[in-house]
Structure 1
Amino acid sequence: MKILRDLSLAIRFLTIIHVISFPTPNNTNQNEEALEENFANSMAFFPLVGMLIGVLLVALRRIFYYLPISPLVGDVLILIVWIWLSGGLHLDGFADSVDGFLGGHNKEEILKIMKDSSTGAKGVVALVSLLLLKFVLLV
């Protein structure tokens, strides 16, 4: 049951897929330390979840290959599905990191910029560049 709970947590964290949440023993008053331990244990399943996302995207790309659409349109759709499926989690983190590292002069400023909910111009440029690179690598 612990393995299913950790796998479920990894899937729910890394994707927008809603899977059943497996309760832990004594779930009524779970302290923060136990929650952190559950999340730490779920990290072992992150590569598996990434592989499942990749397999899904490859299968979708194969389907697009047989449809009467341009391969470029198919590749754009793959990127859109990937962003949708992951909820843009990594893209948001990437943009925040670029904003922080390029906009801050010391550790406190960097962390303050990274925690800000708005994305700056440098983050947007980096994000567009990253998505263009991903598109070119798909083609």
Structure 2
Amino acid sequence: MTSPEPGFYPDQVGIDAYGNSGFRFAEMSHRGSLLCLPSGMQGWAVVTPADITMDSMAPIFAAADQIDVLLVGLGHDVVGFPADIRAALRERGIIVEAIGTGGAVRTYNVLLAEQRAVAAALIAVERAR
């Protein structure tokens, strides 16, 4: 039996809270940005929207056949989402919604509760809005 990698929770679960530079889920807290994938929850080394690259999105591309909708939480300020990444996700059949982190968390929880094939890439924020 192998132990899970650091910063990895092996189930996809709802998010109970966000803010204070992190997220709460499954009775645990995580500091930093977060990927919520069908394979589980894991830390994401993205701090600002400018850090979103094809490389940082690699875990999402790897799980693309299990995802219909990707919610990207861009922090507090909604900025443009890279067109090349959006096109690459669209080619894989993934609908992308790039919005503020708060809205992304709320929408992710609703779609997950509806048992939709949803994933989220969430940039941590200091304060919940």
User: More helix per residue: 1 or 2?
Assistant: 1
Is TM more than 0.5 here? no
TM-score range, shorter chain: under 0.3
Q: Which has the higher contact order (CA 8 A, sep 6+)?
A: 2
Q: TM-score, normalised by structure 1?
A: 0.23
Q: TM-score, normalised by structure 2?
A: 0.24
User: Which structure has the larger Rg?
Assistant: 1
User: More strand per residue: 1 or 2?
Assistant: 2
